[in-house]
Structure 1
Amino acid sequence: MTQTTTPQSKQIANHGVPWEDAYGYAQAVKVGDTIYVSGQLSHDAQGNLIGAATLDAAGRPSGFSNMGLQMQATYENARKLLSHFGATFDQVVEETLFVLDVPAAFAVAGEVRRGVYGKTPRVASNLIGVSRLAFPEQLIEITFRVDLSVAKDSPA
């Protein structure tokens, strides 16, 4: 017996920011019931960073006080991508936060994430400290995996 499978098509969503074409990638890709969201950051519609960190003489962030602002804006950009596919944060099954300063991220992550996911977030989450992100003023980047077979508005 021979089994034939039909390839599933990929649907993509983008924000329309300059680095999508410059680097050559999609912000989100949907295949079947799964959405893979590329690393999101805190930019506005024109691609300007929201809460950009001030840089020191060496070109590194001189402080991390904007971590919460950048984190909130990053989740908002992810929300826009999810809504393109009719999805919500209720259907996120995994997220990975890449941060320049782990203590600064931990200090704000609980409150910000509860604002996104509700009182008891039901999502696998990874918080990883890194030495550099795409833009020098960037403090955080978040990726997501979304399962559309998960019911929206599931109990928290």
Structure 2
Amino acid sequence: MTTTDIYSHGVPAEDDFGYVQAIRSGELIHVSGQLALDEAGAFRHPDDFGAQLELTYANFDRILDHYGATRNQIVSQVLYVVGLQRYAQAMAEGNRAYFGDHRPVSTAVGITELTFPGQVVEISAIVDTTLPR
């Protein structure tokens, strides 16, 4: 049986833009692009790639916690990065720090801009809850 479970952080942007943070369909969780929003929905750390990446992954953890999932169950991620060549090393280090020995498939896309001034990274993902936690 397929079940659907929708998760929101409860931030204004969800209503403003008409989306949810994640949706579970069966055993997969599809995670919307996460970014450096605090719990009130305010964008943080303009132009600071490392701090944005850290807060973005913390938002992933909030979603994973909701579903009882872990980082080890993330099977795919797409990183959208303004200034990809400039931040490639920091992106690699942050990715290794977040995932440890786990290795999801990953795509990094260099882009010219994101939603907020000073936003340099956004990450979407797919989580497979059938994998070991």
**Residue in 1 aligned with 2:122?**
141
Residue-by-residue CA offset, 1:29-56 (whole Å, 9 max, x unaligned): 0011100000000011111222113xxx
Higher helix fraction (1 or 2): 2
Q: Distance in 2 between matches of 1:92 and 1:114?
A: 13
Identity of aligned residues (%): 36
Paired AA for residue 43 in structure 1: L
**Residue in 2 aligned with 1:89?**
71
- Count residues with an aligned counterpart: 133
**Residue in 2 aligned with 1:29?**
23
**TM-score, L = length of structure 2:** 0.94
1:1-156 → structure 2 map (5 Å cutoff): 8-53=2-47, 66-118=48-100, 120-152=101-133
> Runs of 4+ in structure 1 displaced over 2 angstroms?
none
Higher strand fraction (1 or 2): 2
Q: Distance in 1 between matches of 2:95 and 2:13?
A: 27
Structure 2, gaps ≥5 residues long: none
Find the structure with the greater CA-based Rg.
Answer: 1
Q: CA RMSD in A?
A: 1.2
